[in-house]
Amino acid sequence: MKLVQARWYHRGRISPIRLIVVHSMEWVERATTAEECAKMFATMNRQASAHACVDANSVVRCVRDQDTAWAAPGGNADGLQLELAGFARQTRAEWLDAYGKAMLDQAAAVIAGWSRAYKIPVKKLTQTELRAGKRGITSHADISAVYRRSDHTDPGTKFPWDELIDRVKAELDGADGGRDDVDVPDWKRTLSWPPTTKGDDVKTWQRQMRKRGWKLDVDGWYAGADAEVCWAFQEEKGLKVTGQVDEATWRAAWTAPIT
């Protein structure tokens, strides 16, 4: 995920993550909608943000998981906020046109990564379960109804929750087939930044991540760009998200499925 940092958010969290909150952007469906929404969060005066914006061909990160986005009062402190291109007024058929299906695929990959990383059940919560503090997936509409701190109704009554949940489950099922029959170089130490870690083991990891499709310079210096890739990779694979190459992250670079 590329990062376009939102202007308004809280650094850190006061509650452990337990919710994934789905929103509709109320924005026309275009190839660049995620980027446009992220740019809005980065520049606007209205105090709002989300963790990620999704359209049919891309996902843009706006707030890091460890920070608190301003998206759904009552569900901000313990929520991860996901904005989808489209409108709450859309019909089920409009959500499930070619653009919508491609977007749901993108969203499912993000949600699956969050589900693995934070042990969030792939389940759409009822309002009763949300009120009771259960872990799962919810909507801005249900946050509004339960906590009564906003009046938003997105992503709308016709949003295809069944299709989204099925896609998330398929993502998780497809990620279970990691390989254990490959030769993994010995892990020697945690690669971290700052301060910058340097050495041949950094080059080894950088080369492997380039093979997986990540854009990195193979220079032997584990710096900010490498930590950003590591962070995204850990989220994608459901690893502990630290931005540091610990033993589990090192091994996953060779054994985890390429998605």
Asked if the model's pLDDT at residue 250 lies above 90, the reply is yes
Average pLDDT in the chain: 93
For the cut 80, the answer to whether the pLDDT of residue 177 exceeds it is no
Domains of the chain: 2-174 (3.40.80.10), 197-255 (1.10.101.10)
CA atoms within 13 A on the CB side of 241: 21
Instruction: Return the pLDDT at 156.
Output: 98
227-238: per-residue pLDDT in tens? 999 999 998 888
**DSSP code, position 72:** S
| Burial (CB count within 10 angstroms: exposed 0-12, middle 13-18, buried 19+), residue 196 | middle
Residue count (the chain)? 259
Beta strands in 11-141 (DSSP E): 19-24, 52-54, 59-61, 68-69, 79-84, 136-139
Tens-digit pLDDT profile for residues 4-14: 999 999 999 99
The residues with which 19 forms a beta bridge, in sequence order, are 79, 136
Instruction: Give the helix/strand (H/E) hosting 160.
Output: none
**For residue 50, how many other CB atoms are within 10 A of its CB?**
28
Three-point CA angle 54, 59, 63, nearest 5°: 95
- How far is 171 from 112, CA to CA, in rounded Å? 6
pLDDT tens for each residue of 102-121: 999 999 989 998 998 888 99
Residues 6+ apart with CB under 8 A from 168: 108, 111, 112, 115, 122
In this structure, the number of other CB atoms found within 10 A of the CB of residue 19 comes to 27
| pLDDT tens string 31-60 | 999 999 999 999 999 999 999 999 999 999
Digit-coded pLDDT (tens) for 79-102: 999 999 999 999 999 999 999 999
Between these two residues, 175 and 153, which has the higher pLDDT value? 153
Give pLDDT, residue 99.
Answer: 97
Tokens of 131: 């009120």
Identify the pLDDT of residue 129: 98
In this predicted structure, what is the pLDDT of residue 176? 46
pTM: 0.72
Question: What does the pLDDT average to over 125-142?
Answer: 98
